[in-house]
Structure 1
């Protein structure tokens, strides 16, 4: 497997229109080859033998008939096979043997596993914009910081294709933004922050020939932090995380195909910090 290679173009411009205020904008483009994804293969690691379909299984079918069920076949093997290849632990309420039938190397077929492995997949192109603004209101101590990022990719998951079709898609691509309002003066610091991320594809699963996506829905969260310096080196603080009790939700091909919902709840901290 080859490492992925990327050819990047980044352009940016910045305008510092005051001592502590600026605006910046940037554009980026990435052309990625040998993108690493996952695929499913069938393999026989460790060459493990499995009794199903082996010599003892075939002998049981020959003795009992082709319409014999698995329970009857197991009982026949326990009674007639080499005792070194089985272990009887008891009898259940229906009179059937319980225990273990061990695979015999050279007589029984080798177990085949479906294994997910990393592979080099398609090339992909990414591009987007980044904007940032920091503004302070003179010497008042008040200010704000705003960031916004837009991301686009040329490889999306097509929800309309059947689950039998294996698809390569870029994970984790979404727009994001955050806003911070702050006050910082005379030992008092107050920060109110809102962080937001748009919906994005977080995973694709491939199991038994079935391929399905998992999307994380758009999520926003408010946080607050207040601190006050009582004396040099000694600060008291309080913070609230997710104060509006936002919830997070994952879904599949359709928004009604709910896969996971979590509610972390609001969290609050009080503390004292001393630096020396």
Structure 2
């Protein structure tokens, strides 16, 4: 795909850079499969998933422009803008069909008769419905009694004439219309004279229409971009006479981690997170370097939540990690 990059020095030490490119990528192999699968059958519904071999490739037209001011030998400040126009982004849709010609024990005459015989309070009680189906159909070939030796409970199979064919709600990937991702990047690097001390600060702001709609509980047509978030980094360092020391704070805003959880099509967000890291090294000569580092030295935790920030799904504490080592170049 075509790409072009240009730069121009507007005045001394002030440079503008611009780029244009087009990229093309195929959908994941898992999305392109022609077959489907039945994921589960319960009282509420039967669910499945299938691929779409007719998916078009994902295309992106990319624009970038930045202004960079170099006010010292190794010091500069920059601001940049980027935009990506994405065509044929992959989203999900849902369809209902019965491709397996399999009968369901929770649909049809047997199931309806069992529900009708129970009190209204047990109309959605799967254990009560199961027991009533067994009561109404004793010694039936499509009911397997409990096995005392293995501990397996009773199993109820779909009857070929007294139960309905399974109606499966399939999820399937589809191509969506054009979407847009835009953002700004800010960066500064400053060295304090010949002291060896310096700092690096950067921040990236991202905006997109590829966001998850928390108010839509169906999940149909949702095409959010996973992992999209603002981020920032602050680094202080010393680099002189073979000694290198860095202390860094790395921060990332809340982002969408997944579009399904253990229950179904529900968003999983990772909460905003920041951690401190340090690194110290000494270069004995051009071949030998020893180092020590600490990662997440303040013992920060990560948290995942659902549609609301109070819906905690997971909290993880990895603890700080410390390493010492040696590098030798032959």
Determine the structure 2 residue equivalent to 1:163.
Answer: 217
Determine the structure 2 residue equivalent to 1:35.
Answer: 89
Secondary structure, in 3 states, of the residue corresponding to 1:18?
coil
Contact preservation (8 Å) 1:130, 1:147: yes
Distance in 2, matches of 1:198 and 1:146, equals: 16
Residue 117 of structure 2, aligned match among 43, 67, 83: 67
Name the CA shift for 1:65/1:175 in 2 (closer, same or farther; >3 Å). closer
Residue 264 of structure 1, aligned match among 302, 318, 325: 318
TM-score relative to the length of structure 1: 0.77
Name the CA shift for 1:274/1:48 in 2 (closer, same or farther; >3 Å). farther
Is residue 252 of structure 2 the alignment partner of residue 197 of structure 1? yes
Contact preservation (8 Å) 2:92, 2:220: no
CA displacement 1:47-103 (0-9 Å, x = unmatched): 444445578x48x96xx9952753243255451x4x5x56556469xxxx9554545
Secondary structure, in 3 states, of the residue corresponding to 2:319?
coil
Counterpart mapping for 1:110-189 below 5 A = 110-159=165-214, 161=215, 163=217, 166=220, 168=222, 170-171=224-225, 172-189=227-244
> How far off its partner does 1:12 sit?
1.7
Contact preservation (8 Å) 2:134, 2:143: no
Structure 1 unaligned segments of length 5 or more: list them: none
Distance in 1, matches of 2:212 and 2:146, equals: 50
> How far off its partner does 1:244 sit?
1.1
Counterpart mapping for 1:203-214 below 5 A = 203-205=258-260, 212-214=266-268
TM-score relative to the length of structure 2: 0.66
Distance in 2, matches of 1:88 and 1:257, equals: 40
Contact preservation (8 Å) 1:121, 1:168: no
Contact preservation (8 Å) 2:282, 2:290: yes
Determine the structure 1 residue equivalent to 2:60.
Answer: 6
Instruction: Work out which of the two has the higher radius of gyration on C-alpha atoms and give 1 or 2.
Output: 1
Name the CA shift for 1:205/1:191 in 2 (closer, same or farther; >3 Å). same
Name the CA shift for 1:247/1:70 in 2 (closer, same or farther; >3 Å). closer
Structure 2 unaligned segments of length 5 or more: list them: 1-54, 119-128
Distance in 1, matches of 2:104 and 2:82, equals: 54
Name the CA shift for 1:90/1:185 in 2 (closer, same or farther; >3 Å). closer
Which structure shows the bigger proportion of residues in strand conformation? 1
Contact preservation (8 Å) 1:40, 1:206: no
Contact preservation (8 Å) 2:89, 2:178: yes
User: How many corresponding residue pairs?
Assistant: 263
Secondary structure, in 3 states, of the residue corresponding to 2:327?
strand
> How far off its partner does 1:225 sit?
0.7
RMSD: 3.5
